[in-house]
Amino acid sequence: MYQKDLLLKKLRTMLHFSNVFPIKKAFAFITFIERKRLARNYFHTFKNPLFDRRRKLTQKPYAPITHEKDTITPSLSALGARLRLSFSNPELLLQVVTDESYQNTDYESNKTLSILGEHVCRLFVTEYFHIKYPLMPLPALEEVIKLYTGQQTLLSFGKEVGLSLVIRWEKITDLKKAQQSNAALPLSTTPGIALMRSIHAIVGALYQDKGPLAARNFVHSYLLSREVKIDLVYEKSCAKLPKRELSLLMQRQGKIPPISRMLKETGRNTNSPIFIVGVFSGTEKIGEGYGSNIKMAEFRAARDALKSYYLTEIKDFILPSDVVNEDVEYGPTEIGDTPVIV
């Protein structure tokens, strides 16, 4: 920038005194400076052993490194280290990131591994939540599993870990050619789907290559460590009629039917009242809720009572997949009761 400005300034001054300094001469002078600059750059290229001397000046001085077909790039091996993947065969790492739409490869695509991995992923997540929350109703459990293994979560995981930078995927633009070459070619693959398949394939490859415990370790440490507000999931997927459900639940458990009692209230005759209602079974308080009207407060109180029952958490449990470890003796946890039929 600086040199260009300088040149322009010089040109202007020369044009100003054009009667003294002919325009032709001025341009000649500029080209001379330009040549000098180029020569200096060229000198640098000679000095630098990293630089190829035979390269012409018209070319970009440092072109990006192009890798050969089917080589493990530095970014891919860095990803392997980031996810702590130590496959017995390093080429498996390459296969795992190769989508079936990628043409320039001799390896098989990751499709089979991804199908295996998808099921493995779901198995470990389901197993964990089914044992941790034995009383959780099915719609909520399904929603939680979907949240942990679903597309949106996996996509954000892939981006956060840098997998989206290394997946080998191609957009098939020439539809006719694709149909001619291979009828079964995936025409609708998007980068998101390719990314999701790649994550599944990592789990599948770990399962096949390193065994179920390694795959489970991956799922637990990278996917199950993510956060979902489970009570919110329960609220949204179940408990549409909490008062009725709670009274049926109490009836089935042989407890005294629930009664709502006002605990606190303020500003009943204003435009912004607040009521706090408790639900009682006999003398035991089983839930509490707030609301700007009494009906909503009762609703929330009943929902709170249901939540505290259905989302009972079990701590220090053994998972069925722990049996792979020979030291651990599996003792099943109690299977939870089914939710009431409303």
Minimum gap (Å) between residue 162 Cβ and other proteins: 5
Q: With contact defined as beta carbons under 8 Å apart, do 300 and 289 qualify?
A: yes
The verdict on 177 binding other proteins (CB under 8 A) reads no
Q: Of 45-53, 258-266, 279-287, 328-336, which part binds other proteins (CB under 8 A)?
A: 45-53
Minimum gap (Å) between residue 156 Cβ and other proteins: 6
CA distance linking residue 284 with residue 249, whole number of Å: 15
Tell me whether residue 236 or residue 252 sits nearer to other proteins (CB atom). 236
3-state secondary structure 154-182: HHHHHHHHCHHHCCECCCCCCHHHHHHHC
Query: Contact with other proteins (CB under 8 A): which of 13, 103, 156, 181?
Result: 156
User: Which tokens go with 18?
Assistant: 């054009």
Name which of residues 247 to 266 contact other proteins (CB under 8 A): none
Query: Contact with other proteins (CB under 8 A): which of 82, 240, 252, 264?
Result: 82
Q: With contact defined as beta carbons under 8 Å apart, do 172 and 178 qualify?
A: yes
CA distances from 275 to 147, 239, 242, 260, 309 (A): 34, 21, 18, 12, 23
Q: Of 153-161, 172-180, 198-206, 241-249, which part binds other proteins (CB under 8 A)?
A: 153-161
Tell me whether residue 224 or residue 311 sits nearer to other proteins (CB atom). 224
Sign, Cα dihedral of 45, 47, 52, 54 = positive
Minimum gap (Å) between residue 164 Cβ and other proteins: 10
The verdict on 74 binding other proteins (CB under 8 A) reads yes
CA distances from 229 to 18, 142, 236 (A): 78, 14, 11
Name which of residues 87 to 146 contact other proteins (CB under 8 A): none
Helix (H, G, I), strand (E, B) or coil at 194: helix
Task: Number of residues interacting with other proteins: please give it, by CB under 8 A.
Answer: 41
Q: Of 49-57, 114-122, 240-248, 314-322, which part binds other proteins (CB under 8 A)?
A: 49-57
The verdict on 75 binding other proteins (CB under 8 A) reads yes
Q: Of 1-9, 116-124, 155-163, 248-256, which part binds other proteins (CB under 8 A)?
A: 155-163
Q: Provide the residue count of the chain.
A: 342
Query: Contact with other proteins (CB under 8 A): which of 22, 90, 162, 282?
Result: 162
Q: With contact defined as beta carbons under 8 Å apart, do 95 and 116 qualify?
A: no
Q: Which residues are CB-neighbours of 282 under 8 A, at least 6 positions away?
A: 255, 256
Q: Of 12-20, 22-30, 154-162, 302-310, which part binds other proteins (CB under 8 A)?
A: 154-162
Minimum gap (Å) between residue 214 Cβ and other proteins: 13
Minimum gap (Å) between residue 280 Cβ and other proteins: 23
Task: Report helix angle 230-237 to 294-310, nearest 10.
Answer: 120
Name which of residues 209 to 238 contact other proteins (CB under 8 A): 220-229, 232-233, 236
Tell me whether residue 162 or residue 211 sits nearer to other proteins (CB atom). 162
CA distance linking residue 245 with residue 304, whole number of Å: 12
Taking the alpha carbons at both ends of the chain, their separation in whole angstroms is 76
CA distances from 118 to 88, 121, 202, 298 (A): 21, 5, 10, 42
Closest C-alpha among 321, 268, 325 to residue 297: 268
Q: Of 43-51, 96-104, 107-115, 322-330, which part binds other proteins (CB under 8 A)?
A: 43-51
Minimum gap (Å) between residue 97 Cβ and other proteins: 15
Helix (H, G, I), strand (E, B) or coil at 125: helix
Residues in touch with other proteins (CB under 8 A): 40-41, 44-45, 47-51, 62, 74-75, 77-78, 81-82, 84, 147-148, 152-153, 156-157, 160-162, 165, 220-229, 232-233, 236, 290
